[in-house]
């Protein structure tokens, strides 16, 4: 069966969501998981955007085997040189050069005319080709480009050596029938079109990214650019899991195959959500918590008789384990080991013992421990090394509050030089009082930009995961904490976020691209 190539851009376009900021170790962790998912290409980043991104791309290029490793560059010599330096050690590197083709981009962004813009693009492409054998060229804002000019650009860039030509719907303007026709027309009228792979890259501003991508595939596009959980600039990009599962579930219609190891989809989705700090909405197709939850009596009855009545995808095919065995404090090591390895985690003895210890304390509080809880406990242990620093850790906290009273928090933090520090603060609520007490200990004020708590499962004793974004001195960072006690989860998240800020301020070169762009360097694609 003919193949569709899956080009994952979670680490580049996905990381352009406001507030996302992965450190190089986190980016590598996601790239390794994308390789297990078996994507064809990983767009690892935009190396010119920040030294941190450059380092992350370089590490991924050296360490991740299997997929093509792609680095993005504007049609600018220094961008291309920097991108090449970052990926030259990859087993299969690819430079991805982009330049706007719509009149609004050509005239307003660059102050050029169409001919000059084409010349600039071709010069950049030839330069990229002189460095890297595989070059992809993106005609940014293609869906709002004059089709005749677009066809000419596509023909010329293929002639100049582009192996992949990407047609982006940069602003999510396209509708499926029209976008499908645009791709079919390019296939029909560009004489050398069969010398390159035709790719699409759709944004979700009108909620049509997946539909547009599939329409393009039906018309002959053979590479799709997408992200895990549909993350990306503004409303996001086409979602990898939706495209892959649509191709697989409706093979009868598409007659195409993506080489994805679908059993890794759920794990990849949760990893990306955790490290980016962006929860997956409950009704998100394929990976949302409700994607396989049947609530109406008629549906439940149907499912019990035969799953095919209301289910078109088997959860097992996404790596979702059944809740067949809910663990309790009495389940023991063996049952937990078994569960963890069924979930696809291979823990060392030391890691397992730490998970077991945390499991016992959670089981003590909430009696029944679900797969979702265990996944959080495991991730807390195996990803502990990804944190930039443990400058401060939460030692303890106590809050006094009540109806009509001003909440007061007493917080103790352990500093990395083994000193315990304590402060007391009032706040407008218990969480505010905790955060203020932490600021008092650290001796600087942080601005709380965003704060979310969500329950991992539906029970009253559910584990809470808190995600906090804070900023200081123009630097923004995210922290995350989990516990059955949401005040503790919030305090942990806040401490992690301020640790990260302290680290970024001390190591400015490791700051991610979104942090750099917030200071006005217009290097976000
Ligand atoms: O949306 C877009 O056009 C892009 C390009 C850089 C491919 O992200
Ligand atoms: Zn994009």
72 compared with 23, residue with greater pLDDT: 72
Whether the CB-CB separation of 252 and 32 falls below 8 Å is answered with: no
How far does residue 390's CA lie from ligand 2's centre (Å)? Answer: 35
Mutate to test the pocket of ligand 1, among 95, 102, 168 (most ligand atoms within 8 A of CB): 168
pLDDT at 101 over 90: yes
Rounded Cα–Cα distance for residues 230 and 226 (Å): 7
**What is the predicted pLDDT for the residue at 340?**
92
Q: Centre a 10 Å sphere on the Cβ of residue 148 and count the other Cβ atoms it contains.
A: 9
Mean pLDDT along residues 270-279: 91
Nearest to 106 by CA among 96, 127, 120: 120
Instruction: State the distance from the centre of ligand 1 to the C-alpha of 232, rounded, in angstroms.
Output: 10
Determine the residue of 7, 8, 12, 13 to mutate for testing ligand 1's pocket, defined as the one with the most ligand atoms within 8 A of the Cβ atom: 13
Report whether pLDDT(261) > 70: yes
Using pLDDT thresholds of 50, 70 and 90, give the confidence band for residue 508.
confident
Query: How does residue 416 score in pLDDT terms, banded at 50, 70 and 90?
Result: very high
Name the H helices within 190-320: 209-218, 240-249, 251-254, 265-276, 297-305
Which one of 140, 165, 225, 230 would you pick to mutate in the ligand 1 pocket, going by the greatest count of ligand atoms within 8 A of its CB? 140
Ligand nearest to the CA of 70: 1
Residue ID of nearest Cα to ligand 1 atom 5: 140
Query: Of the ligands numbered here, which is closest to the C-alpha atom of 140?
Result: 1
For the CA of 166, the nearest atom of ligand 1: 7
pLDDT given at position 488: 96
**Considering only CA atoms, which residue is closest to atom 1 of ligand 1?**
170
Residue 516 has pLDDT above 60, yes or no: no
Rounded Cα gap, residues 433 and 430, in angstroms: 5
Strands 256-257 and 223-226: unpaired
CA 365 – ligand 2 centroid, Å: 45
Q: Is the pLDDT of residue 517 over 60?
A: no
Give the distance (Å) from ligand 2 centre to CA of residue 303: 39
Provide Rg for the chain, Cα atoms. 25
- Ligand with smallest separation from the Cα of 199: 1
pLDDT digits (tens, 9 = 90+) for 279-326: 898 899 999 988 887 777 888 788 888 888 888 999 999 998 765 567
| pTM for this model (two decimals) | 0.90
- Tokens 């010329």 sit at which residue? 156
Residues with CB under 6 A from ligand 1: 13, 98, 138, 140, 166, 168, 170, 201, 203, 525
Task: Name the residue with the closest Cα to ligand 1, atom 4.
Answer: 170
How many Å apart are CA 240 and CA 260, to the nearest integer?
10
- Angle 97-103-104 (CA atoms, 0-180°, nearest 5)? 90
Query: Measured in angstroms, how far is the CA atom of residue 100 from the centroid of ligand 1?
Result: 9
* Most confident by average pLDDT, 86-95, 294-303, 513-522: 86-95
> pLDDT of 379-393, one tens digit each?
889 988 887 678 999
pLDDT at 91 (0 to 100): 97
Atom of ligand 1 nearest to the CA of 141: 3
- pLDDT average, residue stretch 370-378: 89
What pLDDT, on a 0 to 100 scale, did the predictor assign at position 17?
A: 83
Mean pLDDT for all residues in the chain: 92
Sequence-ordered alpha helix ranges (H) in 164-316: 176-189, 209-218, 240-249, 251-254, 265-276, 297-305
> Mean of the pLDDT values across residues 445-473?
87
Q: Tell me how far the alpha carbon of residue 122 lies from the centroid of ligand 1, in angstroms.
A: 18
Distances 225 to 167, 236, 465 between C-alpha atoms, Å: 10, 12, 30
How far, in Å, from the CA of 340 to the mean position of ligand 1? 38
Most confident of the ranges 261-265, 278-282, 364-368? 261-265
Q: What is the mean pLDDT of residues 465-480?
A: 91
Ligand 2 centre distance from Cα of residue 402 (Å): 49
pLDDT at 134: 98
Give the closest ligand to the alpha carbon of residue 96: 1
Look at residue 397 and tell me whether its pLDDT is greater than 90: yes
pLDDT tens profile 176-224: 999 999 999 999 999 999 999 999 999 999 999 999 999 999 999 999 9
What pLDDT, on a 0 to 100 scale, did the predictor assign at position 405? 93
Report, as an integer, the average pLDDT of 108-119: 96
Which has more confidence, 518 or 229? 229
Query: Which atom of ligand 1 lies at the shortest distance from residue 525's CA?
Result: 6
Whether 521 has a pLDDT exceeding 60, the answer reads no
State mean pLDDT over 261-283.
93
pLDDT tens across 275-289, in order?
A: 998 989 889 999 998
Pocket test for ligand 1, best of 95, 201, 209, 234 (most atoms within 8 A of CB): 201
Mean pLDDT, residues 36-43: 98
Query: What are the pLDDT digits (tens) for 129-179?
Result: 999 999 999 999 999 999 999 999 999 999 999 999 999 999 999 999 999
Q: 13 C-alpha vs ligand 2 centroid, how far in Å?
A: 6
Contact between 128 and 162 (Cβ < 8 Å): no
pLDDT score of 28: 96
Angstrom distance (rounded) from CA 487 to CA 218: 50
């Amino acid at each position: 069966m003919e193949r569709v190539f899956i080009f994952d851009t979670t680490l580049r376009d996905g990381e352009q969501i406001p507030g996302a900021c992965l450190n190089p170790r986190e980016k590598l962790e996601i790239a390794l998981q994308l390789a297990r998912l078996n994507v064809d290409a990983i767009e690892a980043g935009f190396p010119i955007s920040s030294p941190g991104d450059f380092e992350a791309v370089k590490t991924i290029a050296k360490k991740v085997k299997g997929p093509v490793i792609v680095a993005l560059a504007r049609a600018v010599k220094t961008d291309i040189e920097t991108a090449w330096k970052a990926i030259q050690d990859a087993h299969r590197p690819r430079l991805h050069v982009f330049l706007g083709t719509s009149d609004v981009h050509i005239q307003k962004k660059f102050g050029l005319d169409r001919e000059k813009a084409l010349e600039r693009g071709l010069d950049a492409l030839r330069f990229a080709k002189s460095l890297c054998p595989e070059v992809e060229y993106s005609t940014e804002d293609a869906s709002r480009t004059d089709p005749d000019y677009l066809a000419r650009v596509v023909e010329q860039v293929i002639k100049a050596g582009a192996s992949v030509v990407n047609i982006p719907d940069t602003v999510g303007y396209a509708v499926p029938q029209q976008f499908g026709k645009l791709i079919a027309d390019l296939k029909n009228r560009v004489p050398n079109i069969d010398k390159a792979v035709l790719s699409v890259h759709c944004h979700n501003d009108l909620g049509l990214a997946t539909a547009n991508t599939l329409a393009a595939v039906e018309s002959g596009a053979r590479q799709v650019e997408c992200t895990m959980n549909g993350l990306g600039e503004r409303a996001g990009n086409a979602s990898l899991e939706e495209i892959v599962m649509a191709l697989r579930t409706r093979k009868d219609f598409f007659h195409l195959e993506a080489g994805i190891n679908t059993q890794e989809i759920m794990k990849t989705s949760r990893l990306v959500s955790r490290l980016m700090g962006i929860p997956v909405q409950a009704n998100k197709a394929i990976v949302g918590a409700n994607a396989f939850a049947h609530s109406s009596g008629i549906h439940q009855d149907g499912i019990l008789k035969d799953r095919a009545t209301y289910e078109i995808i088997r959860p097992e095919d996404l790596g979702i384990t059944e809740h067949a065995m809910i663990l309790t404090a009495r389940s023991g090591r063996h049952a937990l080991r078994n569960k963890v390895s069924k979930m696809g985690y291979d823990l060392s003895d030391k890691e397992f013992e730490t998970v077991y210890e945390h499991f016992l304390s959670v089981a003590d509080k909430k009696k029944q421990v679900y797969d979702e809880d265990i996944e959080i406990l495991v991730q807390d242990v195996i990803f502990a090394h990804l944190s930039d620093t443990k400058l401060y850790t939460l030692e303890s906290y106590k809050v006094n509050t009540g109806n009509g009273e001003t909440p007061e928090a007493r917080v103790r933090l352990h500093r990395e030089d083994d000193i315990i520090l304590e402060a007391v603060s009032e706040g407008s609520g218990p969480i505010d009082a905790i955060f203020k007490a932490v600021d008092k200990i650290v001796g600087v004020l942080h601005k709380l930009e965003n704060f979310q708590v969500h329950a991992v499962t539906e029970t009253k004793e559910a584990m809470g995961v808190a995600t906090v974004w804070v900023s200081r001195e123009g630097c923004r960072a995210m922290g995350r904490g989990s516990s059955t006690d949401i005040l503790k989860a919030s305090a942990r998240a806040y401490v992690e976020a301020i640790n990260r800020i302290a680290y970024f301020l001390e190591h400015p070169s490791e700051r991610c691209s979104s942090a750099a762009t917030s200071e006005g360097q217009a290097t976000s694609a």
